[in-house]
Each structure stands twice: as C-alpha cells, then as structure tokens.
C-alpha cells in the first residue's frame, strides 16, 4: 500500500499526475499517481489511501474502495466504486475523464483534492499564490456550510503559510506585520496629540464663544468663535480663492481694488424697540445678581421698566462714499434693517416702533469708528443714503456711472460678506488670544480691535454681467450676507450698481440695483443732504 507524501522533484519523472489535497488529514500534501491503474480508498479517518490492488490494503485500517483511476490518452479517468458518490468540480458523477485543475470530492465525508498533470505540477515548493488559490478553490467547491468552510479555509491558509512557504517569505511577512503595527501605533499617537490640541484650543476659546453667543453682544447667531479660527465658512473661502485666481488673470482688478478700497466702509449697527406712547425702550429684565433673567422659554425676559440693558438687534453691512465724500450709499435693508422680512417678523407688537440705537462706519486702515445717520431711503428700490455725523468728515468718493452696463462685461464687487466673521477669520491666533486676555469679545469691541489692528479690509470678487433689467443687474460675482450695499464696479472703477441680494437656490448669482436709481435718489434728496 502506498501512503501520502510531499512531492519531490525527483518523483515527477516516474509519475503521470498528482493529487493536491485541499482538505482532510492530508491537507497540504501531494500524492503521486505512478501507475496506469490506481485504486483510491478511504480509511476510518476519511483519509485517502492509494493502492494498485486490494491485496495491498491493510484490513485493520478499515479502508474501503471508493474510486478507481485508469490512465488513458494522457490523463486519468475516475470511476466510483460500489455506488459511492463522487463530485468533480461540485458536480456529482459516476465517472469522468479528468482534466488539469479539476477538484474532486471523495464521498460524503471525504476530502477535496485537485487533479494536476505532471507539467502543471512541476514546482515542488508552494508559493503564496498557490495557497490562496487552494483556499479559494476549497471555498468555491466544498459543500460544507458557508461558515464552516470559511473557517476551515482561513485556518488552512494560515497554517500552510507558516509551514509550506519559504523562510524568506515568512520573515518578510513578520517584518511587514511589525512595521504595520509600528505605523498604526504612531498614527494613533498622532491622532491622540491632535485631539488633545484641538480640545485645548476649543477650551481656550470657550470664554470668547460664550460671550459671542449672548443676546446683546452676539457676533453671529449660533456660530462659535472656533469657526472663525479653525473652520472658515465655505462661502468666505470661496471668495478668497476666487479673488486670488481672478486677480491673477485680470490686469485692471488690482488698480480698481487699490483705488476703491478706502471708499468702501464697513457698517455696524444695532436697533431696538421703544413704546410709541411713552418713548421708553424695551430692556432686559435683570435678576438680583444683575444678570439677564430668563423666561419660561429660556429666552431673556424683556420689560419697559428698570434699568437693564436696552435690547439690541445687531447687524452689519457695506456702504461706499459718493458725492463730496460725506455721503454714503447702501441698501435700504441695511440702513433700515427692520424693514426686511426676517426682522419685521420679530417685532414685539404694534405698540412699539423700531429705532437705531447706534450705527457706525469703519474706513479701511482707520482705527476709529465714525458715527453715521440715515438721511433717507428709497420707497421703490433697495437703496438708502447715510451721512457722517462728524462735521467735515469725508471719505474718498467713488464715481457713479451714468450709462447702463452691458451684458457680458466683467464687474468687481467689493464689500464685507459675512460681516465680522470674515475679518476675524482672516486674523491669527494671537489676535484671538488678545481678545480673550483683554475681555473685549463683544459685538462693538471686536470691531474696534479689528480697526486698531488694521484688519478692517473689504473682500472683492470678480464676475460677469449675465442679465440687465430696468430694476436689476444680474452677475455671478460671489458674495453673501454682509456684502449688501457694496459697490459693483466696472473696469474704469465706476459704480454701475449697488449690490443688494443673492438669488436663492442659484449659487453665485447676485442682484444689484443699477446706478441710475441711485442718482435719482440723490437728486430727490438733495435738499436734505444740503441741510444735514
């Protein structure tokens, strides 16, 4: 009787084919088929036994015939014995002429073996790819439950990689595992350090963000200061990126920006409500600790009595100097902010009237806030005129175009989109630390500190005029809330429109009121301007 053994190169010359065992007790070994007629038996442990005749089988082994192999025309034909089942490539057969690579399953509980002709079994050492192919063939062909054959395939693959592959390969795998473990460990340390750094930064800025979130000293509703320093909003980043790209492509934008920047002002204001009958302003109710008292809804409790802080709804916008430089043009919804739908819905009632608590203008590279007042606003268009409260205060005026802009022309929009957010976002960590140390984190304080540090600088974006109507010019220069009231300039630096609104749901498209309507407003209010 011939047992199972590892395939040796010297054995190939005397063999016709081999059986490579994929499962069972002989898994990972190879059996030589050296005779034209071979008998295959299964012992008590479902292991394969090959013999030439029944006389060679040890009766004590309990081995029984299950199949016979007959060599003919360069290959073997397999036939089942005594009705015992055979499966070739997962198909139940009584007999089959084998071809190179066939997977044979011997009996209901027998092992799986791959049939190989000598030419394709010429290498004696098992490569990693061979082991993977064996595991895949076992998974694909075995009739065991999916979980059982998956577990067996993985176990077999790991064991054979440790025993059948070269020493060099095993050392390489070990080195790779160690290196991968080192890289993972280092990455975990880096991630931990980054998490600790972010936690420290957020803790350091908590006091600032809490102040910004208060009712009367809030920069941006529901936005923490951390957003200014670490995660600048996408629209502001888009403006900055687009500006750099477009300025590099245009010869005139640099001149227009440098000549116009000091004419464009940052407007900051707050309005409140007062009782019409008495003129008393709406105030916050204070508790015994002189802190804002909260109502049942969690919001500050308001009253007409007491001496608590006056209720302020804060806003920002953009304006630009015209005429002799003492007059500023902007939008009506900036100068009269309660006229917009978003604020009119929050009115406390018909017995109250809104009023400007304070409105100031910041000029680029100027450390001072200049008080401004509303001269008048248009009833037909989103336009308004402001004037410096200081006598003889002037800014460099921008020229107003008296001709209609043409479709397809390039225009430049200058302003302060997102208000304080974009300017704080363009500062550095030292500025944030300075705000925290000096406890100057209020709505008015931050603007003043930005001015002192020469951080009041407008943003510019370039676009193309897409449409012209009697009431609006449509262009694709990127802007957003806070940029309202800014000038829309042509290549000569003339104002062709006043930026007023974005088109919801159509990103990058904005509306401007043509300059003709601004000229009409100036003419209509000339007397007020002369007397103010």
Structural domains in the chain, CATH included, are 9-165 (2.60.200.20), 225-531 (2.40.10.120)
Q: What is the pLDDT of residue 124?
A: 44
The CA R_g of the chain, rounded to the nearest whole Å, is 43
Q: Angle 103-109-115 (CA atoms, 0-180°, nearest 5)?
A: 20
Give the pLDDT mean for 287-293: 84
Nearest by Cα to 113 from 50, 24, 39: 24
**Which H or E element spans position 270?**
strand 264-275
Q: What is the pLDDT of residue 288?
A: 84
Q: What is the pLDDT of residue 486?
A: 95
**Which H or E element spans position 48?**
strand 48-51
**Which H or E element spans position 160?**
helix 146-163
pLDDT tens-digit profile of 373-415? Answer: 999 999 999 999 999 999 889 999 999 998 888 888 999 999 9
Q: What is the pLDDT of residue 203?
A: 43
- Termini Cα distance of the chain: 121
Q: What is the pLDDT of residue 315?
A: 92
pLDDT(330) > 80: yes
Q: Residue 294 forms beta bridges with which residues?
A: 300
Cα–Cα distance, 280 to 273 (Å, whole number) = 9
Spatial contact of 388 and 370, defined as CB atoms under 8 Å apart = yes
DSSP 51-98: ESSGGGS-GGGT-EEEEEEEEETTEEEEEESTT--EEETTEEESEEE-
Name the token pair of 299: 């919001």
Provide the b/e sequence for 224-256 (b: ≥16 CB within 10 Å): bbbebbeebbebbebbbebbeebbeeeebbeeb
pLDDT(428) > 90: no
Q: Rounded to 5 degrees, what are φ and ψ at 123?
A: -100, 140
pLDDT(168) > 80: no
Q: What is the pLDDT of residue 151?
A: 74
pLDDT(103) > 80: yes
pLDDT tens-digit profile of 106-126? Answer: 877 778 888 888 765 444 445
pLDDT band of residue 349 (cuts 50, 70, 90) is confident
**Residue 490 CA neighbour count, 13 Å, CB half:** 20
Please tell me whether the overall predicted TM-score, pTM, comes out greater than 0.95 for this model: no
Q: How confident is the prediction for the chain on average, in pLDDT?
A: 78
Q: Could you tell me the CA-to-CA distances from 91 to 56, 94, 101, 284 in Å, in that order?
A: 31, 10, 14, 86
Cα–Cα distance, 236 to 365 (Å, whole number) = 21
Cα–Cα distance, 439 to 343 (Å, whole number) = 29
Give the pLDDT mean for 183-206: 66
Cα–Cα distance, 265 to 521 (Å, whole number) = 20
pLDDT(471) > 60: yes
pLDDT(7) > 60: no
pLDDT band of residue 245 (cuts 50, 70, 90) is low
Q: Could you tell me the CA-to-CA distances from 158 to 7, 111, 131, 155, 441 in Å, in that order?
A: 20, 19, 9, 5, 63
Give the pLDDT mean for 351-365: 93
pLDDT(499) > 50: yes
Strands (E), 299-366: 302-303, 313-322, 327-330, 352-363
Cα–Cα distance, 94 to 471 (Å, whole number) = 90
pLDDT(208) > 50: no
């Amino acid at each position: 009787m011939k047992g199972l053994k590892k395939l040796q190169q010297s054995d190939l010359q005397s063999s016709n084919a081999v059986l490579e065992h994929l499962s069972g007790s002989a898994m990972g070994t190879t059996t030589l088929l050296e005779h034209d007629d071979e008998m295959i038996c299964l012992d008590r442990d479902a292991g394969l036994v090959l013999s030439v005749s029944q006389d060679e089988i040890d009766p004590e082994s309990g081995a029984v015939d299950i199949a016979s192999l007959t060599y003919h025309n360069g290959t073997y034909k397999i036939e089942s014995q005594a009705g015992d089942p055979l499966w070739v490539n997962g198909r139940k057969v009584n007999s089959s002429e084998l071809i190179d690579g066939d997977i044979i399953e011997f009996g209901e509980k027998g092992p799986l073996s791959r049939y190989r002709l000598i030419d394709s079994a010429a290498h004696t050492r098992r490569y990693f790819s061979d082991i993977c192919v064996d595991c895949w063939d076992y998974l694909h062909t075995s009739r065991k439950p999916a979980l059982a054959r998956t577990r067996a395939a993985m176990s077999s693959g790991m064991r054979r990689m440790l025993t059948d592959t070269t020493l060099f390969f095993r050392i390489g795998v070990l080195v790779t595992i160690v290196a991968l473990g080192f890289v993972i460990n280092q990455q975990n340390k880096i991630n931990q350090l980054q998490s600790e750094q972010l936690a420290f930064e957020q803790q350091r800025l908590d006091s600032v963000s809490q102040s910004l979130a208060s009712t009367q000293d809030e920069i941006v509703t529901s936005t923490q200061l951390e957003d200014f320093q670490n995660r600048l909003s996408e629209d502001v980043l888009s403006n900055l990126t687009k500006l750099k790209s477009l300025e590099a492509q245009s010869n005139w934008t640099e001149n227009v920006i440098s000549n116009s920047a000091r004419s464009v002002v940052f407007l900051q204001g707050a309005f409140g409500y007062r009782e019409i009958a008495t003129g008393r302003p709406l105030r916050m109710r204070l508790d015994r600790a002189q802190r804002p008292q909260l109502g049942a809804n969690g919001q500050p409790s308001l009253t007409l009595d007491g001496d608590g802080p006056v209720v302020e709804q804060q806003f920002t916008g953009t304006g630009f100097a015209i005429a002799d430089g003492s007059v500023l043009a902007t939008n009506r919804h900036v100068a009269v902010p309660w006229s917009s739908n978003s604020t009119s819905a929050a009115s406390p009632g018909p017995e109250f009237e809104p009023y400007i608590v304070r409105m100031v203008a910041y000029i680029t590279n100027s450390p001072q806030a200049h008080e401004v007042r509303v001269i008048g606003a248009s009833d037909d268009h989103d336009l308004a005129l402001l004037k410096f409260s200081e006598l003889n205060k002037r800014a460099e005026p921008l020229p107003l175009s008296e001709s209609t802009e043409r479709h397809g022309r390039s225009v430049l929009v200058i302003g302060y989109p997102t208000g304080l957010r974009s300017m704080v976002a363009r500062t550095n960590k030292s500025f944030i630390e300075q705000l925290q140390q000096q406890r100057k984190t209020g709505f008015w304080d931050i603007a003043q500190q930005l001015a002192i540090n020469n951080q009041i600088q407008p943003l510019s974006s370039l676009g193309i005029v897409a449409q012209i109507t009697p009431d609006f010019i449509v262009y694709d220069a990127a802007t957003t809330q806070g940029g309202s009231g800014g000038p829309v300039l042509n290549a000569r630096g003339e104002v062709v429109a006043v930026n007023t609104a974005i088109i919801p749901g159509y990103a990058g498209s904005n509306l401007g009121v043509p300059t003709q309507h601004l000229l009409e407003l100036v003419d209509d209010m000339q007397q007020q301007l002369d007397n103010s």
